[in-house]
Amino acid sequence: MADQALPVGLGEIKISSSPGDVLVAYGLGSCVGVGVFDPVSKVAGLLHAVLPQSLNGTEQVPGKFVTTGIPKLLEEMEKAGAMRSRLHVRIAGGANMLSAPGAKQAFNIGERNVQQTRIVLDGLRLRLLAEDVGGTVGRTVRLYVTDGRMTVKALGNQEKALA
């Protein structure tokens, strides 16, 4: 049976425990993909966060922001049978996609997304196993539900496993 790609769009969270599923976030630029896997329950989840945090705190789409998306991702995974103490967490993305003079200092959304992701994970006492962040090129990440393997393919590079 061929793998079933489940796209995870901007601001989305997807959870699966079906072995043939592959959660995929295409074209992560400044966005951050947070991949989480429980090796015992075989539950996988992927968040495609766009911004570090909501300005008003009343966001209707929790996956849009790192600060609301990660807790929601964990909540959904726990509903599906995962346990926080067993989770393998990896992140990718957070590139600086704006190259105009002064844009990096003015916006720096990718770096802010990565910093906020680390803060939230640390606050939730979740250890980050691996990351592929920063730079100036977009990435596509795949999280394989069958074994929790996460791969990253940066524009112009070969796909690689994110240990």
Tens of pLDDT along the chain (163 residues)? 568 999 999 999 999 999 999 999 999 999 999 999 999 999 999 999 999 998 776 667 889 999 999 999 999 999 999 999 999 999 999 999 776 555 555 568 999 999 999 999 999 999 999 999 999 999 999 999 999 999 999 988 899 999 8
User: Which pLDDT belongs to residue 128?
Assistant: 95
Number of residues written out for the chain = 163
User: Which pLDDT belongs to residue 102?
Assistant: 53
- Cα torsion 76, 56, 103, 10: sign: positive
User: Which pLDDT belongs to residue 44?
Assistant: 98
* Contacts of 56 by beta carbon, 8 Å cutoff, 6+ apart: none
Instruction: Classify burial at 43, counting beta carbons within 10 Å of its beta carbon; exposed 0-12, middle 13-18, buried 19 or more.
Output: buried
User: Which pLDDT belongs to residue 97?
Assistant: 79
User: Which pLDDT belongs to residue 56?
Assistant: 72
Domain residue ranges of the chain, discontinuous segments joined by + = 4-147
User: Which pLDDT belongs to residue 131?
Assistant: 97
Q: CA 127, CA 103: separation in Å to the nearest integer?
A: 32
User: Which pLDDT belongs to residue 61?
Assistant: 86
Cα dist. 50→13, 91, 112 in Å? 12, 13, 11
User: Which pLDDT belongs to residue 63?
Assistant: 92
User: Which pLDDT belongs to residue 60?
Assistant: 78
User: Which pLDDT belongs to residue 78?
Assistant: 98
In the chain, how long is the greatest CA-to-CA distance? 50
Q: Which fold has domain 4-147?
A: 60s Ribosomal Protein L30; Chain: A; (3.30.1330)
